[in-house]
């Protein structure tokens, strides 16, 4: 994971934490607005799962690509009769 990706995840989870705190505040202040806090929680949890799923998918694609490239490197190296690669 690169440094820029770590910064993005930290900011995202801090914003998610703030949204969850706002949802708790809305719930404790007025019980009639319970649907607003539940909607905020559902949105935050849904976005977290979506981003986590897409990140895992991207990691698997990168891993498969690296595996294909390593196989390509093994088959592409040919040697001539003197033992040198060309």
- Residues 9-36 have pLDDT tens digits of 778 888 888 888 888 888 888 767 888 8
Cβ of 27: how many Cβ atoms within 10 Å? 16
Class of residue 75 by CB neighbours under 10 A (exposed 0-12, middle 13-18, buried 19+): exposed
Task: Indicate the SS3 state at residue 79.
Answer: strand
Length of the chain counted residue by residue: 86
Q: Quick one: tokens of 73?
A: 């490197």
> What is the reported pLDDT for 52?
79
- Residues 33-52 have pLDDT tens digits of 888 888 888 888 888 888 87
């Amino acid at each position: 994971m690169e440094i820029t990706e770590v910064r993005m995840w930290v900011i995202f989870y801090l914003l998610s934490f703030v949204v969850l705190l706002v949802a708790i505040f809305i719930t404790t202040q007025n019980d009639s607005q319970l649907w607003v806090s539940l909607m905020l929680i559902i949105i935050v949890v849904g976005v977290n799962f979506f981003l986590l799923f897409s990140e895992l998918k991207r990691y698997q694609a990168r891993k498969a690509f690296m595996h294909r490239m390593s196989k390509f490197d093994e088959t592409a190296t040919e040697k001539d009769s003197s033992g040198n690669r060309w």
